[in-house]
């Protein structure tokens, strides 16, 4: 039995060394040009994680990266986002870095800035590689302008450097958020096909009685069934429908509860257990929150 050792890359200077680059000019942030990268043939790439953020903008990269149990091919002109401690694997023997940028920055760079909190709200740091951001030429140039500004800024470190660099990171993330929303909307056919599949999977789960046997449907189950990351599914649904995955689940459960209240003589407790709720009070609370009526009040309104 082969046990893969988890390799941890703690610092940006260590990352530079493993990419055969000169030491970074700033200890907490670096803009790396992919054409300058040569991977050291270390076993470290077989399974590793970074203890810092990494944002990549790649063109003409050839190779594979592994997230979880799946390998993904790189594409042309895409952006991907990695938060600290996300497990990855790289096939460095066959990878060709191509051109583009890697922005790496340590969480300490953001200490005492509001961004240290708001960065955790960006769902794309938990997207799978296959859910990367595809940029238009104009969007790509907007991102490159920011990266070039950061690359220039930390070359002369003074008391303003960190403020300016953090503001540029904040700007880049805001642009990425805008561009992802554009991607959800402009890829309408794919998005609406996915919405239809999502609704079919959720409806089947609730209507087929899986709730009573397996419990409430979860965001993770639905995302896994659709071969998406939970964050990507929720963000896509929020942009297209105004509601995230959990809200869609709740609406489907309430819809089914209404049907059972009107068409059967099951007690509220029996309906709650049939729908996968552990306690009847949980259904009562959700139902009242969604309809401004208790389940019994809803049933009585039809008598």
pLDDT, tens digit (0-9, with 9 covering 90-100), for 150-199: 999 998 889 999 999 999 999 999 999 999 998 888 776 677 788 889 99
Distances (CA, A) of 56 to 86, 109, 165, 246, 289: 15, 18, 17, 30, 42
For residue 155, the 8-state DSSP code is T
pLDDT range class, residue 77, cuts 50, 70, 90 = low
Mean pLDDT, all residues of the chain:
88
Report how far residue 275's alpha carbon sits from residue 216's, in angstroms, rounded to the nearest whole number.
7
Rg (the chain; Cα; Å): 24
If you search the block for the tokens 């649904």, which residue do you land on? 237
Q: What is the pLDDT of residue 10?
A: 95
| pLDDT at 75 exceeding the cut of 50 | no
For residue 197, the 8-state DSSP code is H
Q: Which of 222, 227, 231, 237 is nearest to 122 (CA)?
A: 231
- The domain over range 189-300 is classified in CATH as 1.10.10.60: yes
107-134: b (≥16 Cβ within 10 Å) or e: eebbeebebeeebeebbbbbbbbebbbb
CATH 1.10.10.60 domain range(s) in the chain: 189-300
Indicate yes or no: pTM above 0.85.
no
CATH 2.60.120.280 domain range(s) in the chain: 7-176
Q: Which of 91, 88, 97 is nearest to 59 (CA)?
A: 97
Task: For domain 7-176, give the CATH superfamily.
Answer: Regulatory protein AraC (2.60.120.280)
Measure CA 80 to chain center: 10
* Residue 139 structure tokens: 């969007």
């Amino acid at each position: 039995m082969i046990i893969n050792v988890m390799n941890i890359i703690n610092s940006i200077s260590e990352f530079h060394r493993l990419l055969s680059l000169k030491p970074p000019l700033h200890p907490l942030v670096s803009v790396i040009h992919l054409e300058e990268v040569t991977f050291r043939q270390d076993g470290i790439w077989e399974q590793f994680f970074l203890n810092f953020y990494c944002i990549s903008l790649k063109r003409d990269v050839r190779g594979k990266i592994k997230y979880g149990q799946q390998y993904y091919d790189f594409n042309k002109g895409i952006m991907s986002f990695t938060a600290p401690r996300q497990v990855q694997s790289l096939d460095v023997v066959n990878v060709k870095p191509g051109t583009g940028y890697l922005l790496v920055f340590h969480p300490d760079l953001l200490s005492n800035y509001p961004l240290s909190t708001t960065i955790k709200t960006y769902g794309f740091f938990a997207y799978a590689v296959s859910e990367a951001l595809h940029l238009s030429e104009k969007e790509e140039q907007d991102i490159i302008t920011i990266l070039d500004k950061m690359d220039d800024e930390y070359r002369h470190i003074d008391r303003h450097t960190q403020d300016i660099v953090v503001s540029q990171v904040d700007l880049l993330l805001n642009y990425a958020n805008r561009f992802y929303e554009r991607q959800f909307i402009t890829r309408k056919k794919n998005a609406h096909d996915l919405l239809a599949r999502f609704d079919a999977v959720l409806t089947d789960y609730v209507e087929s009685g899986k709730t009573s046997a397996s419990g409430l449907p979860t965001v993770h189950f639905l995302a896994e069934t659709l071969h998406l990351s939970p964050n990507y599914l929720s963000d896509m649904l929020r942009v297209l429908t105004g509601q995230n995955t959990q809200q869609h689940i709740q609406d489907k459960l309430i819809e089914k509860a209404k049907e059972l209240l009107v068409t059967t003589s099951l007690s509220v407790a029996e309906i709650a257990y049939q729908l996968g709720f552990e306690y009847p009070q949980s259904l009562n609370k959700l139902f009242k929150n969604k309809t401004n009526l208790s389940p019994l009040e809803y049933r009585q309104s039809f008598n």
